[in-house]
Amino acid sequence: MAIEVRAEPTPNPNAMKFTANQILFEGAGSASFKKGDSPDHPLAKELLAIAGVDNIFGYQDFVTVNKEMGAAWDSILPEVEAVFQKVYN
């Protein structure tokens, strides 16, 4: 099954929520990683490698991506989309 991801703005202009049609993070706990971390989780690792991404927070079927101050969503969003396709297809 190909992954489908819906991007939604959050009250924080530096954060976007990405909800998928499948589980991204297994288990009952949440996952949180910041720039400089080396997570074993493939999605988290790829998202943190995107220029302008500061940190991520994931839980079950969604991940929230927080950008660095001054970074532009216009350049980050296409890369986030590409990461989901790379990791899940």
Output the CA–CA distances (angstroms, integers) from residue 18 to 21, 34, 71, in the order listed: 10, 17, 18
pLDDT digits (tens, 9 = 90+) for 15-46: 999 999 999 999 999 999 999 999 999 999 99
3-state secondary structure of 17: strand
CA distance 89 to 71: 27
In the numeric block, which tokens belong to residue 61? 């079927």
**Is the CATH number 1.10.287.3510 carried by domain 5-88?**
no
For the chain, what are the domain ranges? 5-88
Task: Supply the pTM of this predicted model.
Answer: 0.95
pLDDT digits (tens, 9 = 90+) for 68-88: 999 999 999 999 999 999 999
CA distance 80 to 52: 11
